[in-house]
Amino acid sequence: MILFWLIGGALAAMALVLLLRPLLGGSGPEISRREANIAIYRDQLRELDADLRAGTLAQADYERARSELEARLLEDAAAPAEGAVRRAGRGTALALGAAIPVLAALVYLAVGTPAALAPQADEHAATARQVEAMVERLAARLRENPDDVDGWKLLGRSYTVLGRYPDAADAYARAAVRAPRDAQLLADFADVLAMARGSAGSGNLLGEPEKLIERALQIDPQNLKALALAGTAAFARRDYAAAAATWEKMLPLVPADSEDARSIRASIDEAKGLAGARQLRGKVSLSAKVKAKASPDDAVFIFARAAEGPATPLAVLRKQVRDLPLAFSLDDSMAMAPGMRLSGFPRVIVGARVSKTGDAKPQPGDLQGASGPVASDAEGVSVLIDSVVR
């Protein structure tokens, strides 16, 4: 009987994957697919209960079979979709979603309707609470068997889907301690550690996540996700040449005519364009005579505007007073308005302002400074913040 249910659980998981593939693609009659997905899961549990009540299945075997079914559902549904790629952050960074999992139960619950559930609703109808319970039972089993590396990885993927990024990072950390040379694990760990920082911005990859990515690539230089993340981190540092070179290593690893390859090539082209774009470099510092009027957490806006032309900033960089003195670089990627780019004007004025309110517009009490007119690709521009906005 146990073998029957293990096979049944595997078949149910496979059916879920096949049914969800067209559902996620958005084609065909959605309601019938939702009902089928729910019915598969509900019927398996109902039959388990029926065997338990009939006495043909012992309680211990029931618990084992149910746990196995739940684990298979979680594992198959939370498995990363190979080759899936998206681009992040201003359409330039490659998608970290190359291995972000999709939990099937949550998907069909999110798109399902109460009307579809009502006719056959019972105590085993799939609910978000039930999915949470499945994940918590997995966590409980791992507390009893902490050396189960695959279990910790599965728990990390499940927590990621549930948006519990700190918990996911902890699960991946426990797995990484036990499997320190698993490149894919380290890449997944880096990804979720960045998300645990509070947003999906590519800048969150800098620091510890980037160290994990480097370790992953030392172990497996062709790990697709680690390469995508490494390129994204380089792009966040504005090292566009390194980003392009890293992403180029991904191309031989995906089908040449695939959407993934097209997305990768588009990101490479954009990074190369920025690498060769006009850049304005210099240094901003705070005068001693106004330093007492600034707090370390105050925002600092560094910007370039046309020496002759509209006052709209052509490029803007935001930092904090604690970062001063600061070596800065402005380029076309920092444009604030379409068609108003640094490279479109031969001469500019570089300004810097300490904002007490965090508002980009000047306010009385702000501190400011500006350079004279300089070439829009000048090097060594010096800006001293030394006056108060009246």
Calpha distance 18→32 (Å, rounded) = 14
Least confident segment among 83-87, 197-201, 270-274, 362-366: 83-87
In a domain, 327, yes or no: yes
Q: Do residue 74 and residue 163 come from a single domain? A: yes
Query: Which domain-ending residue is among 216, 246, 264?
Result: 216
In the prediction, which pLDDT does 225 show? 94
Q: Do residue 184 and residue 283 come from a single domain? A: no
Q: Do residue 43 and residue 153 come from a single domain? A: yes
Entry pTM: 0.56
In a domain, 169, yes or no: yes
CATH code (residue 321): 2.60.40
Percent of the chain with pLDDT over 70: 68
Confidence check: pLDDT of 298 > 50: yes
Q: Do residue 287 and residue 200 come from a single domain? A: no
β-pairing, 381-385 vs 279-286, is parallel
Q: Do residue 179 and residue 323 come from a single domain? A: no
In a domain, 304, yes or no: yes
DSSP state of 335: -
Give me the mean pLDDT over the 256-276 stretch. 89
Query: Which domain-ending residue is among 168, 188, 216?
Result: 216
Q: Do residue 188 and residue 301 come from a single domain? A: no
Supply the range of the domain harboring residue 290.
279-388
* Each residue's pLDDT tens digit, 380-390: 999 999 999 99
Q: Do residue 316 and residue 208 come from a single domain? A: no
Tell me which amino acid residue 2 is: I
Q: Do residue 50 and residue 180 come from a single domain? A: yes
In a domain, 200, yes or no: yes
Here the tokens at position 17 are: 């994957």
In a domain, 264, yes or no: no
Confidence check: pLDDT of 365 > 60: yes
Give me the mean pLDDT over the 30-54 stretch. 56
φ and ψ of 315, to 5 deg: -155, 140
Q: Do residue 305 and residue 201 come from a single domain? A: no
In the prediction, which pLDDT does 204 show? 83
* Each residue's pLDDT tens digit, 100-153: 333 433 333 333 333 333 444 444 444 567 778 888 988 999 999 999 999 999
Percent of the chain with pLDDT over 90: 45
Domain count across the chain: 2
Task: For the chain, list the strands marked E by DSSP.
Answer: 87-88, 93-94, 279-286, 299-306, 315-320, 326-331, 347-355, 367-370, 374-375, 381-385, 387-388
Q: Do residue 86 and residue 181 come from a single domain? A: yes
In a domain, 274, yes or no: no
In a domain, 265, yes or no: no
Give me the mean pLDDT over the 2-11 stretch. 40
In the prediction, which pLDDT does 115 show? 38
In a domain, 50, yes or no: yes
Q: Do residue 109 and residue 191 come from a single domain? A: yes
Q: Do residue 122 and residue 198 come from a single domain? A: yes
Least confident segment among 14-28, 220-234, 281-295: 14-28
